Amino acid sequence: MTFRTNVWMEAELALAAYASLAGGVATNSQIDALQEAGMSRAQAEEFARRYPTVVC
């Protein structure tokens, strides 16, 4: 993984920290929360795919 990719992934995690995510909530609701925090729909879906433990 390149430095640039690593920084990008850490920035996504930091942005996701602003989302109101809760356990036991449907993934679509979690994606909506990520969008409200500032992610695009595609970015939120990719984040959910990459970090299923966070968005579950």
Digitized pLDDT (tens) for each residue of the chain, 56 residues in all: 799 988 988 999 999 999 998 888 888 999 999 999 999 999 999 999 998 888 87
Q: Is 8 left (phi over 0), alpha (psi -120 to 50) or beta?
A: alpha
Q: What is the model's pLDDT at position 15?
A: 94
- 27-40 residues labelled b (16+ CB within 10 A) or e (exposed): eeebbbbbeeeebe
Q: What is the model's pLDDT at position 25?
A: 87
Q: What is the model's pLDDT at position 47?
A: 93
